[in-house]
Amino acid sequence: MKNMFMHLTNFTLNKQSENYKAPETDFLEEGQDQGSKRLLSSLWKTLEEEGHDIQEIKDKIKDTVRKAIITMEPYLTHYYKTHVSTANYKGAKVFHILGLDILIDKKFNAWLMEVNSNPSLNIFLEREIPGALDGQTEKVLQELDKHVKAKVVTEAIRIVTGECNDEYAGSFEQLLPDPSMDNYYIWNKAQHLYEMMTQTQQTKKDPEMRGKISMFQFARLYKVPEFGKLGSYFKADLEIVFKQLL
């Protein structure tokens, strides 16, 4: 943990090291999961043997993941809406696999290092051939990668299609929604309030529209002192924003 440079590398670089040890083909057998890349279950076993509280570590990781997904939800929702036609919006069955890199420090706190929107599903180890000319490489099937990544894709499809049920012995766990995380949905609440504020008054006689502000009133927000802290905003800018709302 004290070597700060070790965290600047990832598998793309580590696999080129002379100290890299490829996983054994029988990695699922007892005592054989000893390669540079190992199953998560192997890590849990090692930490448990050292006397650490595995469940506490898992809970911290889950908490970090929940908060990360809540933060990304508005962007994922927008991406979904822009790529799925409105005609098939409700019936569409799509999924997006994200890769979250979690760092466990010496106090066993879980820190989010990176979110990969397109995590690698490559199951081959491609390394430069020592002594070869022109940087020639070789590709070798990695059974561990095949085992893990095939399960990830398979279970994602099962979840989306509804084929996974209580009897399915999958390794996934649903973390959201979670009532204990409601206070973290700040963006969602702000967006709802924003949309409520910016609905135009179609008629003053309509009781449902009473209390909603007009475009003219919305444009007057440029006088609010807080806007000055963010840069130069003008009435015309806010009128454009008003017209471009969903």
Contact 113/131 with Cβ under 8 angstroms? no
pLDDT averaged over every residue in the chain: 75
What is the rounded CA–CA span in Å between residue 80 and residue 128?
A: 39
**How is residue 64 written in tokens?**
């970090």
Q: Is 137 helix (H, G, I), strand (E, B) or coil?
A: strand
What is the rounded CA–CA span in Å between residue 199 and residue 224?
A: 20
**pLDDT greater at residue 44 or residue 92:** 44
Contact 233/222 with Cβ under 8 angstroms? yes
What is the rounded CA–CA span in Å between residue 124 and residue 142?
A: 5
DSSP string computed for 93-154:
------EEEEEE-TT--EEEEEEESS-----EEEEEPTT-GGG-EEEEE-HHHHHHHHHHHH
Residue 238, pLDDT > 60, answer no
Each residue's pLDDT tens digit, 122-179: 999 887 777 777 778 888 888 899 999 998 998 888 888 877 665 555 678 889 989 8
Supply the pLDDT for residue 245: 47
Each residue's pLDDT tens digit, 50-92: 999 999 999 999 999 999 999 888 888 878 878 877 676 667 7
For residue 141, which phi and psi values (nearest 5 degrees)?
Answer: -65, 130
Give the whole-number percent of the chain exceeding pLDDT 70.
Answer: 66
The predicted model scores a pTM of 0.69
DSSP-assigned beta bridge partners for residue 137: 128
Supply the pLDDT for residue 82: 80
Residues 193-197: contacts with CB under 8 Å, at least 24 apart? 195/245, 195/246
